[in-house]
Structures are given as structure tokens and as C-alpha cells.
Chain A
């Protein structure tokens, strides 16, 4: 079945540590996205990529980094520069034609 796989489902980060969240899709979608959701709030765009080897900052990119070496994969690194990383992270993908996103199941990141 086609879809988006995010891993891990839960992730714990120590202070000053970098962590990487995985996102893989087999939908043959060109565009991929990372969103952050805080409790009781909407989705805020971190980074997006419309084509391999290219990506753009979203509204809250500081403290995060991404890569897009393959069409299927769009990993997100939460760096130690992100001071408040505890949140629910959602990866999404879409194809051209204004048909909406497909979301992964999310990764819940907690700082310990």
C-alpha cells in the first residue's frame, strides 16, 4: 500500500543533542513537507521540498535542518539550536494538482 512512513513514533531528546526524524513515502509525490504542531495549535511549516536536492524554509525553520537526496525521503534534523523542540512533528507529501496532502502518522518528540 502507498503511504508515508514516519519513524520513530516517539523520540526523546536530551539537552544539547541533535536528533533526526525519518520520513519516507512511496506515493511518487514530488513535494514533501515538515510541520510542527503544539498542543491546541494548528500546523506550522518548518521546511518543504518540491524537488530532489532542493528545499525551502517555512515559517519556523530556525533550529531545524533537512535534506532531499532522494524523491522518497525527506529527513528532518532537530538541532541543539532549537530551544523548545517538544512537539508533534508531521511529515506530508503532495503531487501537483491541488489535491491536498497525505500525512504520515507523526513523531512525538520530547525533551528530557
Chain B
């Protein structure tokens, strides 16, 4: 059974701080990794993808992948109240990019 685990939170950080969201996965053969942001009552939106070990930066977001430790994280710099949402980690294990396992999500609250 392929599993993806995340702390459910809530994770509370003050405005302007760095928010760190973590995700671990069970399948060593996993190929690609994604972070989705979901506002309450809305559908998830893709914010980051990462495919190889190391860091990937996009604006205030940095995704970090360590395949040996089966660990992927998302850092949000200069957190804003608008970043308050649930962040879902998704892991893909096939070569076609068409099957994903989602974690339960971490709820982030950025306090003004």
C-alpha cells in the first residue's frame, strides 16, 4: 500500500515568517512529487512540482526533495495571511505521470 503522510496541523506562523511543511512517502520507486494548495471549500491548485533531489525555488516557495530519506518539504518564505490554506502533498510512482497518492494535507494558518 503506497502511503503519503503529513502532519495535519494546524501549523500557525506569524506573518513574514517561514512556514515549513513536511511530507514522507512509502514507495521508494516514486517518480515525481507535487504540492497543492487548497482553500476552504475550493478545489486544489498545483503550486510546485519536483522530480529530482535537491531544491526547487519558485518565488516565495521552495520545494525540497530527498529520495534517500523519502521526504519532500515545502518552504514558504515571507508568509502572508493569504497563504492560509491546506497544503496537500501528492506523489506519483508510475512512468506515465497518471497515478498519484495524496497525503491528508497540512492546514497552515498565517497570523497577521
Please give the residue numbers on chain A whose beta carbons come within 8 Å of chain B beta carbons, in ascending order: 30-31, 35, 40-43, 48, 50, 90, 94-106
B112 interfacial by beta-carbon distance below 8 Å: no
B42 interfacial by beta-carbon distance below 8 Å: yes
B49 touching A100 by the CB < 8 A rule? yes
Which A residue's beta carbon lies closest to that of B31?
Answer: A98
B97 touching A98 by the CB < 8 A rule? yes
Least CB distance from B32 to A in Å reads 4
A105 touching B98 by the CB < 8 A rule? no
A99 touching B43 by the CB < 8 A rule? no
Least CB distance from A21 to B in Å reads 13
| Chain B contact residues: helix, strand, loop or mixed | loop
| Chain A contact residues: helix, strand, loop or mixed | loop
Q: A43-B88, A99-B49 are in contact. Are A90 and B97 (CB under 8 A)?
A: no
Chosen A-B contacts, 28 in total, with CB atoms closer than 8 Å, are A40-B8, A42-B103, A42-B105, A43-B44, A48-B99, A50-B98, A90-B43, A94-B98, A95-B97, A96-B96, A96-B97, A97-B96, A98-B49, A98-B92, A98-B96, A98-B97, A100-B46, A100-B49, A100-B100, A101-B46, A101-B90, A101-B100, A103-B43, A103-B44, A103-B45, A105-B43, A106-B42, A106-B43
A41, A90, A98, A99: the one contacting B104 at CB < 8 Å is A41
- Interface residues of B, CB < 8 Å — how many? 24
A31, A40, A42: the one contacting B88 at CB < 8 Å is A42
Query: In the docked arrangement, what's the CA distance between A97 and B98, Å?
Result: 8
B102 touching A43 by the CB < 8 A rule? yes
